[in-house]
Each structure stands twice: as C-alpha cells, then as structure tokens.
Structure 1
C-alpha cells in the first residue's frame, strides 16, 4: 500500500486518535437520549408532489430536541419487504432528489433521507446559542453549554428518524441500514452507535471525527478550517485550546464508535485532504463490531468509482 500524505498505512490501521474524550462522555449521551425521550415527536407524514406507481412518496416531519421541526423524504414501496435504508447527506447539503432513492424502493426497501437542521434542506433550526455562530455548523454552540452543541441535536435527529422508521408498517426493525458520505458518513456512525438495533452501517469518508488531528494537519480545507478561523477570531493565543477540543469531544464520533453493533464497511480515499484518512481510521479502529474497509489509494474527497454500486449491493442484503 502506498504512503498517504497523512501517515504510513500500517500506522493508519493502528491509529487511536488524538482528540480528547470528555470524562463525562457517557453521562452526556445518556442525558441527551433522555432529553429526546422527553420531547414529543409529533410525527406528520404528508403525501409528496412527486409520486411513482410503485412507491408512496411522502414528506415526513417530526419534532426534535429544542422544538425544531425536522424533515425527511420518505419512500415506501407498495409491497414492502421489511428492510429500510436511512440516508444522511453531506455538509451544508440536503436530502437529494426523490428519484435517487428509487433503486432501493425497487428492492422492496423503505427509504428515509434526512434534511439536517439548519442546512440546505427543509428542516428548521430553532435553538438559539450564545457565542460563536459565524457561518459554521461544526462549532455552533462551542461557547455555550455542551448540551447546546449543534451536532448533539443532529445526532439525536438521526436517532429519532431511525426509531420512527423502525416503527412503520412494513418495516422490520432488525433489518435497517444507514449510509452517507462525508458529514453523512459521520452521521451514519453516530446513528449506528446511538441506535443499537441498526444492522448495517456504510459510511464513506466520514467527517465529524478526531477534530484535533484534522486541525493539527493544518490543511486549510473546509469544513475543518472553521476550527482555525475560530481560534484566529476568539482565542488567538490558544489559551482555551484544550477546553475547545475537549468540548468538541462530546460530538466526536470516534468516541461513539465502540457502541456500534452494526456490521460496518468504511470507504476511504488515502489522498483525502478534506477528511484526512487518519481521522477516519481513528473511528474505524475503535469499532468492536464486524467491520471491513475499502481503500482508494489515489483518490481524495471525491467520487470514488464503484462505491455507489458496492453500497447498493451491500444494502440489498438487508
């Protein structure tokens, strides 16, 4: 295997991460899940304008933590076979076109694609935060109490969506898979960690892991460049550096990874300067479930040939 710009491959597959894990990490997520239970879901499923002869397409709405109304595209085959697929999109993106979900519907799978709150889709974001909120999702809430970190709420949105889908008629709760690229890859791991019943997780070059390592590499690539921008504007002498990264540790998926029970397949490009390979392997190496990885030595944060086909073939086995 060739060298990566990041570290030698034999070190990648042993690397255990750099970003600190808060001492009360487990209590934090126990409290977060309890907060979700205390928020009524208020689920609403409304037929969508887009329809096909072999699927019922609907806008699914639910209430997440903080009272935000969260949206997902929901497609249910007219003859569901039991499996379901949850899709999570990339940073600042949205749930994508309806037609992109139809190959799974043709298999008899239910599909739900989440719009992350405050980003490019229809979900709202109604939680005010104090402090830093300059054109960023990653660090939103960093100067507020840890419970107001935006990604805490986004991870819980994936949990709520998974639970709603698992309860739908025609869905077997033991046959649910999750997938996504970049931010969607990180959310895939977070969802699988926080919903133990997820059977299969297929993240592609996941974001949201090992923040300090990404910052130390100083690649000046969006979205991790937001950390450098924060220090330049709010802490130019880095007096709070340890505090900042410890707080980000609450929403670092490498620390959630040991909770994943789903069979997991990671896909990574070794020349990825947006989500460096070491940050991805920091999470992968902490997985204790059945796992495998696919490596593209010459590719970065871009289309990886054959990956969509591989994901489809794997999720077809649910």
Structure 2
C-alpha cells in the first residue's frame, strides 16, 4: 500500500469528487426523513441484567423499511435525564452483544445500537434498484438513474432517525447524546454527526465509506473497498464511466459530509490500516471544522486497539 507520511496525511484533501448538487441532495433527503414519525416499538429482550433494562427497538425508516436496534437503559428511579450514545456496527455485522451496552448503562448511559439494513442483523432492506448488487453495498444503486436510490443514502438517514429516537426518550438528555462506531460504524458515526447537528460527541474509529477513488487506488483488492474493483471488472473494464461512477459515489462519501459536523470529535486511526487506508480517513478528518482530536495508533491497523474502549467510555461519561 502506497501511503503518505503523517505530515502528508494531515495536508491531504481527498481524491474523490463532490457532486455539484450535494447540498441539495442531502437537504432533500432530510426533508423526507423529517416527515416520518419517531414512533418506536419496544420489545423486552431475552437478555436480562440487574444493571439495565434491555429491549429490542423497531422503527419505520425511509422507504417503509423496518429497522431494528438494541436499546439498553440504566435501571434507575431518578427523574434526572442522563446521557445517551448511538452505536453503529462494522460492515456486514450486526448491533453486537448486549453486554457491551450494559457496561455503558451501568455508568448511567443509555445506548441505542442500530442494525444496518440487509446486513447481519434484523433490519429490513426493501430497496428496489436498477442495476447490479454484486458483492457489496457501496455499489448498490449506483446504476439506478435516481441517485436517491443509493443504499447508503437510506442507511445514513437511519442513523439520524436512530439518534432522534434516542434523544426523544424520556430518560435521555437530548443535549448529551454521542455517536460511536468502528469501521463501517465509524463512517456511520461521521454521517450521523454530520446530518444530526445535535450530536454532542462523535467517536469514529478507523472509518469506512470515505474517499472512494483514493481507496480504489490503494490496495483495492484486499481492502473493504474491493467491491469497487469487482464493479469495474464486470461492468466497466475500460473505465469509460470512471468519472461518472466516482461522482455518483460522492453523494455517500463521508468526506463530503464532514464539514457539517458540529460535535466534538475524537477520531481514532491506525497508520498500518490495510482495510480502510489512513489517507481515506484523513480526507474526512481534515475537513472537520468543529473541535476535534486525533488519536493515532502508529503500529496498528484495522484491529483491536488497546485501551481504546476505556478511553471511549470515559469520553462519553463527561459529555
């Protein structure tokens, strides 16, 4: 992988384009979301804890899809509202075990963890698109005439709706809600904080979904972005549509959203990351205008990062 030095990464501005109507695209999407009610159904979970109340939570997202989350809140009789965190998972995974969320609830933090549509969890993907869906979600909807049919448009909006539902919970202080996730979850954390300005603190860890053209240029066949390689191999081997494709992907590129963030950001990256190359991450990080801190793991890649879980919990405890 041909990556840059740390000073070069701090100066890197990204390679992928930003569509001319990018702002209108997301304002139109948010208007569609605004028209939806925040109604959520709570179903007691099969997992129980003496420290927290655990629920499956369902809501109806854009396009009528049924979205599933895990909701964990502290067992308390206090009338005082407490902090909350929305959590987002990695590519093709799900919202994870209850135990991680219970540890947050034990510290007074309510957690709402979302399952992405059509991945490893229980959320429904009812999107109908023209064109291929070969090997991955980035390219889902890329050949549809309407860019509103991109898969990640709906997922990004689901993150906002998840945050809004948590903010509306009677036990949660809407001014003390954070967002957190690793890899795809890191990218969704950026998207959520960009599109929901009330997010107080965002902690994206080696985020996915950024600077697609740069990702395609670096180690594409072994990274999380390999589906771009498959797409060109099967559907555009002469790259006659390369400019068009990367411009279309610009609608769902978190680097193009990052300058909207108002939250305080703790950004975590490993300089040896072969899955989400550091340059793709810095393309987004460098565009954040709000209060931000970069936590660098120099000898680490897309893997377990020591001491990080402790740091993240401490960060959200002082929101």
Matches of 1:127 and 1:290, distance apart in 2: 36
Matches of 1:272 and 1:200, distance apart in 2: 24
2:290 corresponds to: 289
The reply on whether 1:26 has 2:23 as its aligned counterpart is yes
The reply on whether 1:52 has 2:49 as its aligned counterpart is yes
- Listed as ranges, the matches of 1:236-247 within 5 Å are 236-247=237-248
Q: TM-score, normalised by structure 2?
A: 0.96
Matches of 1:202 and 1:70, distance apart in 2: 23
The reply on whether 1:74 has 2:75 as its aligned counterpart is no
2:265 partner SS:
strand
Give the drift of 1:106.
Answer: 0.7
2:133 corresponds to: 133
Matches of 2:222 and 2:154, distance apart in 1: 25
1:310 corresponds to: 311
- Listed as ranges, the matches of 1:169-184 within 5 Å are 169-184=170-185
1:135 partner SS:
coil
Matches of 1:197 and 1:101, distance apart in 2: 22
Q: 2:220 touches 2:229 (CA, 8 Å); kept in 1?
A: no
Give the drift of 1:107.
Answer: 1.1
Matches of 2:2 and 2:249, distance apart in 1: 25
Q: TM-score, normalised by structure 1?
A: 0.97
- Listed as ranges, the matches of 1:8-157 within 5 Å are 8-79=5-76, 81-144=81-144, 145-157=146-158
1:274 corresponds to: 275
Q: 2:223 touches 2:276 (CA, 8 Å); kept in 1?
A: no
* Cα-to-partner distance string for 1:49-94 (whole Å, 9 max, x where unaligned): 1121231111110011111100000011122651001110000000
Give the drift of 1:224.
Answer: 0.6
Q: 1:189 touches 1:203 (CA, 8 Å); kept in 2?
A: yes
The reply on whether 1:190 has 2:187 as its aligned counterpart is no
Runs of 4+ in structure 1 off by over 4 angstroms are: none
Matches of 1:206 and 1:313, distance apart in 2: 20
2:29 partner SS:
helix
Q: Which runs of 5 or more residues in structure 1 are unaligned?
A: none
Give the drift of 1:43.
Answer: 1.8
* Cα-to-partner distance string for 1:231-259 (whole Å, 9 max, x where unaligned): 01011110100000000000000010000
Matches of 2:219 and 2:48, distance apart in 1: 46
Q: Which runs of 5 or more residues in structure 2 are unaligned?
A: none
Matches of 1:221 and 1:176, distance apart in 2: 35
Matches of 1:232 and 1:159, distance apart in 2: 34
Matches of 1:135 and 1:282, distance apart in 2: 25
Give the drift of 1:223.
Answer: 2.2
Matches of 1:136 and 1:5, distance apart in 2: 24
* Cα-to-partner distance string for 1:107-146 (whole Å, 9 max, x where unaligned): 1111111000100001010111110101311110000121
1:304 partner SS:
coil
Give the drift of 1:38.
Answer: 2.8
Give the drift of 1:41.
Answer: 4.5
Give the drift of 1:302.
Answer: 0.8
Give the drift of 1:308.
Answer: 1.1
